[in-house]
Chain A
Amino acid sequence: MSGRRTGQVLLMLAGLIAWAVQFTVIYGVTSTLCGRGWADATLFGFGIVPATIVSATLITFAATAVAVIWSIKSHRQNAKRPAATTDGFMSHVAILINGLSLVVILWHGISALILPACA
C-alpha cells in the first residue's frame, strides 16, 4: 500500500480514530480517578475529571474538524480529475465519516460532562 493510499485511509478514518481516542481518554482517566477516590482532585483550580473531558473533547473535535476541511479540499481536487474515481470516492466517504464523527464526539463529550463522574 503506497504512502498516498495510507494517507487516504487514515483521512477516511480520522474522525472515528479521534472518537476512539476521546473515548479511551475519558473512560480511562475517569475510571482510574474514580477507582482511586481522586474524583475531586484539581489541577490549577480545575477539577481533573471535567478538565479531562473538556480537553479531550475539544482536541479530538478540532482534529476531526481539520480532517473534514482536508477531506473537502481533497474532494474538490479529485472532482477536477474525472479519471480518479477511487480517489473521489474515498474523499467523499471521508467527508461523510468525519462529519458524522464530529456529531458523535460532541454527543459523547456532553453526555460525559453533565453527570458527576463518580457518583
Chain B
Amino acid sequence: MNAPERPGSFGEQEPELPNPLPRPEGEFEALKKAWKAPRGISFITAVNNTYVGLWYVGTAFLFFILAGILALIMRAQLAAPEGDLVSHDLYNQLFTMHGTVMMFLFAVPAVEAASVYLLPNMQAARDLPFPRLSAYAFWAYFVGGLVFFGTIFFGLSPNGGWFMYPPLTGTKYSPAENADWWLLGIGFIEISAIAGAIEIIVGVMKTRAVGMSLDKLPVYSWAMLVFAVMIVIGFPAIILGTLLLEMERAFDWPFFIAERGGDPLLWQHLFWFFGHPEVYIIFLPATGMVSMIVPTMAQTSLVGYRLIVLALIATGFLSFGLWVHHMFATGLPKMSLSFFSAASTAVAVPSGIQVFAWIATIASGRMKLTTPSLFIIGFLFIFTLGGLTGVMVAMAPFDWQAHDSYFVVAHLHYVLIGGMVFPLFAAFYYWAPVASKHALSERLGRWVFGLMFLGMNVTFLPMHITGLIGMPRRVYTYPVEMGWDALNLVSTIGAFMIAAGVAVFLFDLARNFRFTLEDNAGNVWNASTLEWLPNGTYNTRSIPSVVSRDPLWDQSNLSKDVEDGRYYLPGTATGGREALVTSPFDARPQYILQVPGPGWQPVLAAVFTAAFFLLLTVKFVFTSVICGVLAVGCVIWWLWETDPGPVRPPADIGGGIVVPVYVTGPMNHSWWAMIVLMVVSGMVFTCLIFSYLFLWLVNPGAWPPQGVRIPDWIWPSLSALLYCASAVLIAVASRQLRGADRRNPRSVPILIGVALLLVSGAAAVDLWTQWGTNLSPSAHAYGAAVYAIVSLQIFFVLTTFIMGIYTIARWLAGRLDSVRRTTFDNTMLFWYYTVGQGLTALLVVHGFPRLTGGI
C-alpha cells in the first residue's frame, strides 16, 4: 500500500524506528499463529475484537431492521383512520417493542459494537484488554435479545410503553408476564452493556499506540470514554429500577404502590436518571464518528480539538442534570421545573460547540461530497432541527402543551435518527473498506441517503403538526372527524421511503461487503488515523509510535514500517496473544498484557446467564437457578485460566525498551476494571439509598410506620464490628502476601477463610435483626426499602464469598503467591467495597429513622 498524501504537517519530528530489518525468521508466523481464530463450530468461540465487533454490529443492525418492521406495521395501521390491521393490544406491544428494541437492542449495542471493532484498530492495540468479556457481552446480548424479541410472536411482549411506568406495569394493571419480560430481559441486557463499558474505559486508557498521549487521542476515543463513563454512572439506575419493580411484582414489595407508602414517581426518577443520559450515551459516540469522518472528507485536521473534548466532557456531566424535564407534567414544584429547564438549555451549549467545530472544519478544507459526507450533512440538518424542538420542549409551559403528543414523537425521532442513525450510516460507508475487500457503492449509497433523508423528513416533519393539532402518541387508531388522516398518510409514505433506503443499503451490503482483514480495500479516503494501517487478526504487525493526531498524514512511510515490523512488539514475547499496555496519560509502554484467547467459557457463561434471567421470567425457578449456577461455574472456569503470572523475564519490545510481562497493583489493567466495577456497584447502592430517602419524603410521619420497632443498637453495632474485622483480616493477608520472592504463606487462605465467616456473619446478623422485629417487606414501603437494602448487601456478601472461596482455591492450586497475586488484589478490592457498603447500609437503615425521629 502506498503512503497516503499528507494535506498538512504539524512539523513534529518523526520518531526513530525501534526495530531493525530484517526481522527474525518465524517472528511474523508466530504472531499470526497466536492470533489465529478457531475454525469450524469453534469459530463462535473467537474473541478477537474484529470478529466479535463484526458480529456485534451485525446483530445490532438486525435489531434495527426488526424494530423498523414493527414501526412499518404501526405506520400501516395509522395510514388511514379507523384502521384494523392490528388490535389495540398488539399495537401496545408493537410500540413498546419498537421503542425498547431500538433503544436497548439497537442504539446502545450498535455504538458499543462499533467501538469493539474500531477502538483497538484506531489506537493500534492488538485487542481490547478483556476480549473474553467482550465475547461474553456479545453472546449474552445476542441470545437474550433474540429470545426477548421472539415474545412478539406469542403475544407475550411487554405492552406498557418503552419506559414502563407503574402503576400501569404493576401487577394490578399488568398481571400477565409481558412486563416481566421487559424487566428481566432488559435489566440483564443492561448488565451486558456495562460489561462492554468497563472494557472500553480500560481499553481507551491503557491500550494505545506509543506516544498517543491524551492530546493526541482520536476524538472517537474521547467520545467512547465519556460514553462508557456515562453508562457506568447512568445504567445502574435502570438496573435498580427494574429490580425494584420486579420485586414488587414477584413478592408484593410496594415500592411504587401509593396505598402502601410507595410512589410511582420513584420509578420515573430512576428511569429518567438513566433515560435522559441514554440519549447522549447514544449521541456522543455518533459525534465521535462524525469528528473522525469530517476531517477526512475535508482533507484537513479537525478544527477545535480541545473545544470538542470540552464539549464531550461537559455534555457527559450536564446530561445527568436533565432527567426531570421528562416529568414536567407530573405536578412537580415550579422551581424544579425552572431548574431542570435551565439544565436542558445549558446542555445545548456543548452540543452547539461541536456543530460549529465541524462546520469550521468543513469550511477550512475542501469537502468531498461522498456518501459519508452526505450522511454527515443530513445529520447536521436533522439533528439541529431536533435540537431546536428540544429547546422548545425544555420550556415547561410549551412541554405541557406538547406532552404525550405526536410533537414529542417527531422531536425524539429527529434527535435519535439525526443524532445517531445518520452518523452510523456515514460510519458504515466510511469504515466498510477497513473490514471488507471492496468499499460499498457510492452510487447506491447516494440512493440510500436520498431515500432515508427524504423519508425521514416526510415521516416526521408532519408529525409536529399532527401533535400540535391534538393527536396523542400511542393511540392505535383515530376517528375520521379528527382531521389527522392526511398527515398520517404522508407520515406512512415517508416511513416506507426510509424502509426502501434501508433495503437498498442491504442490497449494497450483499453485493459489495466481503469481510476480510489482510486483504481489505485499504485507505480509500486518504484518512489520517491508525485504523487504516494494514491489519490482520493481530490488528497491526507492530505497535506504532505516533507524534500527532493525524499520524498517517504526518509520518511518512508509517504504514510500510508498521507492516514490516519496525515498530514496537513486532512478534510475540510469550508465544501467546499479547497487548502492549501504555500509561494512561502519556502512552508510554508499561507492560505486556497476556491476552486470553478463544474459549467456550464466555459463550457458555453468556448462554446460561441469559437462560437464568429468561427462565425466571416464565417462573421456571428451579431450572433458572440451575442455569445461574452453571453460569457462575463457567465464569470461574474462564477466570481460572487468567492471571498467568510472570511466565518469562521482562521482554525487549524494541528501541531498548524492556517491559515486564506481568504486573500487579494499580498499574494492572484488571485493577482498573475492578475500580470501575466498584463505581457501578456504588451507583446501584446510591440509587437505592436515593429511593429510600425519596420514599421517606413521601411518607411524612410514617418512617417507620406506626407499630414498627427499630432494632436495638447492639445488633447493627455487632454487624459493623464483624464487617470491620473481616476487612482487617484481608488487610493482614495482603501484607503477608507481599515480597518479590514468590512467597506463598499458609496463613493467607486461613485468614481469608475466617474473614469469610465474619463477613457472612455480619450480613446474617443484620437480616436476622430485621426479621426479629417482625418487619414485613410487603406491608409498607418502609419495610420494602429496608429489605431491599439488606437484600442488596446480602448479594454483595454472597459475591464476596464466592470470590473468597475462589481465591483460596487458587492458593491451594499453587496459582497464587506474592508475585502472582492479581486474583487476590481483585478479591481484596471488592471485599473493601462490600464492607464499606455494608457499613453505610447499617448507618442508613438503623441511623436515619432515629435521626429523623419519625418525621
Mark A residues whose CB is within 8 Å of B. Answer: 1, 5, 12-13, 16, 19-20, 23, 26-27, 30-32, 34-37, 49, 85-86, 88-90, 92-93, 96-97, 100-101, 103-104, 107-108, 110-112, 114-119
B314 touches A114 (CB 8 A): no
Q: How many angstroms from the CA of A119 to the CA of B396 in the assembled complex?
A: 14
- A-B complex: 7 closest residue pairs judged by Cβ atoms: A89-B215, A111-B342, A16-B317, A35-B697, A96-B310, A86-B213, A117-B335
B334, B336, B337, B343: residue with the most chain A Cβ atoms closer than 10 Å: B336
Q: CA of A96 to CA of B309 in the docked complex: distance in angstroms? A: 10
**Interface: B307 (CB within 8 A):** yes
Docked CA distance A37–B697 (Å): 11
Residues A90 and B214 in contact in the complex (CB < 8 Å), given A30-B335, A108-B342, A118-B335: yes
Q: A1-B584, A31-B697, A35-B697 are in contact. Are A111 and B313 (CB under 8 A)?
A: no
- Give the residues in chain A near B585, CB-CB below 8 Å: 1, 5, 86, 90
Contacts of A5 in B (CB 8 A): 584-585
A31, A103, A116: which contacts B334 (Cβ < 8 A)?
A: A116
Given A36-B855, A97-B313: A107 touches B307 (CB 8 Å cut-off): no
Chain B residues with CB under 8 A of A110: 342
Within B451-484, which residues are at the interface with A (CB < 8 Å)?
A: none
Contact of A112 among B339, B584, B855 (CB under 8 A): B339
Query: Closest CB of chain B to A119's CB: distance in Å?
Result: 5
- Shortest distance in angstroms between A114's beta carbon and chain B's nearest beta carbon? 7
Q: In the bound complex, do residue B342 and residue A1 qualify as a contact, i.e. CB atoms below 8 Å apart? A: no
The residue in B321, B349, B584 that gathers the most chain A C-beta atoms within 10 A of its C-beta is B321
Instruction: List the A residue with the shortest CB-CB distance to B584.
Output: A1
Closest CB-CB distance, B310 to chain A, in whole Å?
Answer: 4
Q: How far apart sit A107 and B350, CA to CA, in the bound complex (Å)?
A: 15
Q: Does B346 contact A (CB under 8 A)?
A: yes
CB contacts (< 8 Å) of B855 on chain A: these are 36
CB < 8 Å: which of A31, A97, A118 contacts B310? Answer: A97
B667: nearest residue on chain A (CB-CB)? A1
A sample of 15 cross-chain residue pairs with beta-carbon separation below 8 angstroms, ordered by A number, consists of A1-B584, A19-B321, A30-B333, A36-B855, A37-B700, A85-B215, A90-B215, A92-B306, A93-B306, A104-B318, A108-B321, A108-B342, A111-B342, A112-B339, A116-B334
Given A5-B585, A36-B700, A86-B585, the answer on whether A16 and B313 have CB atoms closer than 8 Å is: yes
Minimum C-beta distance from B597 to chain A (A): 29
Which positions in B face A, CB cutoff 8 Å? Answer: 213-215, 306-307, 309-310, 313-314, 317-318, 320-321, 333-339, 341-343, 345-346, 349-350, 584-586, 666, 697-698, 700, 855
Asked whether A13 lies within 8 Å of B338 as measured between CB atoms, the reply is no
A30 to chain B, nearest CB (A): 6
Given the known interface contacts A19-B317, A86-B213, the answer about A114 and B338 at a Cβ–Cβ threshold of 8 Å is: yes
| CB contact between A86 and one of B306, B349, B586, B666 (< 8 Å): that residue | B586
CA–CA, A35 and B336, complex, Å: 12
CA–CA, A103 and B307, complex, Å:
16
Given known A16-B317, A86-B585, A89-B214, contact A119–B310 (CB-CB < 8 A): no
By a CB distance below 8 angstroms, the chain B residues around A35 are 697-698, 700
State in angstroms the CA–CA spacing of A103 and B342 once bound together.
Answer: 11
A100 to B318 CA separation, bound complex (whole angstroms): 11
From residue A82, how far is it (CB to closest CB) to chain B in Å? 11
User: B662 CB to closest chain A CB, in angstroms?
Assistant: 20
Residues of chain A with a CB closer than 8 A to B334's CB = 115-116, 119
- What's the minimum C-beta distance from B266 to chain A, rounded to whole angstroms? 13
Distance from A66 Cβ to chain B, minimum over Cβ atoms (Å): 19
Question: Within 8 Å CB of A119, what residues of B?
Answer: 333-335
A68 to chain B, nearest CB (A): 13
* Contacting residues, chain A, for B337 (C-beta < 8 A): 115
Q: Which B residue sits closest to A4, measured CB to CB?
A: B585
Add 11 more A-B contacts to A100-B314, A114-B338 (CB < 8 A): A5-B584, A12-B313, A35-B697, A37-B700, A89-B215, A92-B306, A107-B345, A108-B321, A112-B335, A115-B334, A116-B335
Q: Which residue of B lies closest to A108 (CB)?
A: B342
CB contacts (< 8 Å) of A112 on chain B: these are 335, 338-339, 342
**Interface contact B339-A100, CB-CB below 8 Å:** no
Instruction: Please state if B335 and A100 are interface contacts (CB–CB under 8 Å).
Output: no
Q: Quote the shortest CB–CB distance from B675 to chain A (angstroms).
A: 10
Known: A86-B214, A104-B346, A108-B343. A93 touches B335 (CB 8 A): no
In the complex, what distance in Å separates the CA atom of A85 from the CA atom of B855? 56
Residue numbers in B under 8 Å from A37 (CB-CB): 700
- Selected from B313, B333, B349, the residue in CB contact (under 8 A) with A118 is B333
Complex: how many Å from CA A31 to CA B334?
11
Chain A proximity of B11: nearest CB distance (Å): 12
**A36 vs B701: C-alpha distance when bound (angstroms):** 10
CB pair B310–A93 under 8 Å, yes or no, is: yes
Whether the Cβ atoms of A86 and B342 lie closer than 8 Å is no
What's the nearest-Cβ distance from chain A to residue B237, in Å? Answer: 15
Complex: how many Å from CA A19 to CA B342? 13
Indicate if the CB atoms of B336 and A107 lie closer than 8 Å.
no
Task: Verify A16–B314 contact, CB threshold 8 A.
Answer: yes
Interfacial chain B residues near A118, Cβ < 8 Å:
333, 335
Q: Please state if A115 and B335 are interface contacts (CB–CB under 8 Å).
A: yes
B175 to chain A minimum Cβ distance, whole angstroms, is: 32
> CA separation between A14 and B184, bound complex, in Å?
38
Give bound CA distance, A73 to B283, whole Å: 34
Within 8 Å CB of B320, what residues of A?
20
State whether A93 and B339 are in contact (beta carbons under 8 Å apart), knowing that A19-B317, A36-B855, A115-B334 are contacts in the complex.
no
A45 to B346, CA, bound (A): 33
User: Which residues of B lie under 8 Å from residue A108 when comparing CB positions?
Assistant: 321, 339, 342-343, 346
- Residue on B with the closest CB to A85? B215
Chain B nearest Cβ from A7, distance in angstroms:
12
Q: In the complex the two chains form, is B697's CB within 8 Å of A93's CB?
A: no
Residues in chain B near residue A100, CB distance under 8 A: 310, 314, 349-350
Query: How far does the Cβ of B86 sit from chain A's closest Cβ, in whole Å?
Result: 42
Query: Are B307 and A111 in contact, CB atoms less than 8 angstroms apart?
Result: no
Q: Complex formed: what's the CA distance from A72 to B56 in Å? A: 44
Q: B321 to chain A: which residues have CB within 8 Å?
A: 19-20, 23, 108
Decide: A32 and B586 in contact? CB cutoff 8 A.
no
Contacts of B584 in A (CB 8 A): 1, 5
Question: Could you tell me the distance between the alpha carbons of A12 and B313 in the complex, rounded to whole angstroms?
Answer: 10
> Which chain B residues lie closer than 8 Å to A36 at the CB level?
697, 700, 855
A19, B336: Cα distance in complex, Å:
16
Please name all residues of chain A whose beta carbon is closer than 8 Å to the beta carbon of B313 when the two chains form the complex.
12-13, 16, 93, 97
Report the minimal beta-carbon distance from A55 to chain B, rounded to whole angstroms. Answer: 16
* Given known A13-B313, A35-B698, A90-B214, contact A1–B335 (CB-CB < 8 A): no
| A40 nearest CB across to chain B (Å) | 14
Tell me the smallest distance from the CB of A28 to a CB of chain B, in Å: 9
In angstroms, Cα B584 to Cα A108, docked, is 34
Does B306 lie within 8 Å of A89, measured CB to CB?
yes
A111 touches B339 (CB 8 A): yes
The residue of chain B having its C-beta at the shortest distance from the C-beta of A5 within the complex is B585
Question: What is the chain A residue whose CB lies nearest that of B324?
Answer: A27
Kindly provide the distance from the CB of B92 to the nearest chain A CB, expressed in whole angstroms. 33
Chain A residues near B317 (CB-CB < 8 A): 13, 16, 19-20
